[in-house]
């Protein structure tokens, strides 16, 4: 499961790329408390979603070379007792596969 901290990092990284204020890779990785490899993985995931990410050596920043945006949202709600009874977490499917 993705943590709220990870969602926040993705959102912040996206904003920095949009504003073209990411800093060099090493400094950016330090800012997010991740390794350079992890940062490259996130950039790769952005690319998988359609982002064209380039790096300016002159300005020392990543930027989008296409019109790319990410919108992240999530919803937290309390399930009433009726809805809780319908949540199985895949238990029925799992037991059906194993025993039939």
For 56-89, the pLDDT digits (tens) are 999 999 999 999 998 887 777 887 877 777 766 5
Range of the domain at 18: 4-64
pTM for the complete prediction? 0.71
Q: Which residue has the higher pLDDT, 9 or 98?
A: 9
Assign residue 10 the CATH number of its domain. 1.10.10.10
Please answer whether residues 52 and 65 qualify as being in contact, where contact means their C-beta atoms are separated by less than 8 angstroms. yes
Q: What CA–CA distance (Å, rounded) separates 71 from 74?
A: 10
In a domain, 19, yes or no: yes
User: How many distinct structural domains can be found in the chain?
Assistant: 1
Question: Over 70: is that where the pLDDT of 93 sits?
Answer: no
Distance CA 71, CA 89 (A): 27
Residue from 42, 35, 48, 40 nearest 7 by CA: 42
Task: Work out the mean pLDDT of the chain and round it to a whole number.
Answer: 84
Partners of 62 in the β-ladder: 55
């Amino acid at each position: 499961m993705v943590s709220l901290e990870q969602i926040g990092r993705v959102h912040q990284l996206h904003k920095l790329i949009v504003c073209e204020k990411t800093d060099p890779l090493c400094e950016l990785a330090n800012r997010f408390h991740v390794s350079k490899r992890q940062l490259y993985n996130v950039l790769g995931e952005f690319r998988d979603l359609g982002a064209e990410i380039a790096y300016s050596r002159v300005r020392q920043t990543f930027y989008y070379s296409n019109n790319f945006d990410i919108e992240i949202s999530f919803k937290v709600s309390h399930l009433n007792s009726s809805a809780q009874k319908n949540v199985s977490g895949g238990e029925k499917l799992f037991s059906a596969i194993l025993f039939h």
